[in-house]
Amino acid sequence: MFLTPRQAQLAFVPVLSLVMSGVISLVMTALHANGSKAFVAAWLSGWLLAFIVALPVALVVVPMVRNVLSRLTRPVDIPSAGVKIPVTGQ
């Protein structure tokens, strides 16, 4: 199954939130579990809470970051086919 570019763009934030919240909650649970037998249950409940927080935050923050970065990005001049590109340093 392949996604269209639009579908991939819409899936980006939820997938990123899912992965990042999972990894961060795993690390934090591992640091605080101290070999607990309920490690998996604690991690999964922590992951759920982290994802519930991360998804709405990411849905708000990612567009703002894209906007700021687009304002700070200068356009790149791409020469048309057949246009001689000047060589620098000679």
* pLDDT given at position 81: 74
Radius of gyration (Cα) for the chain, nearest Å? 22
Q: CA-to-CA distance for 23 and 6, rounded, in angstroms?
A: 26
pLDDT over 60 (residue 90): no
Q: Is residue 78 part of a domain?
A: no
Q: Is residue 51 part of a domain?
A: yes
- Establish how many alpha carbons lie within 13 A of residue 51's alpha carbon, considering only the half-sphere containing its beta carbon: 16
Q: Is residue 43 part of a domain?
A: yes
* pLDDT given at position 89: 60
Q: Is residue 89 part of a domain?
A: no
Q: Encode pLDDT of 28-75 as tens digits.
A: 999 988 878 899 999 999 999 999 999 999 999 999 999 999 999 988
SS3 24: helix
Rounded to an integer, the average pLDDT of 72-87 is 77
Q: Is residue 81 part of a domain?
A: no
> With 0-12 CB in 10 A as exposed, 13-18 as middle and 19+ as buried, what is 62?
middle
Print the domain residue range for 54: 11-64
Q: What is this structure's pTM?
A: 0.71
Q: Is residue 50 part of a domain?
A: yes
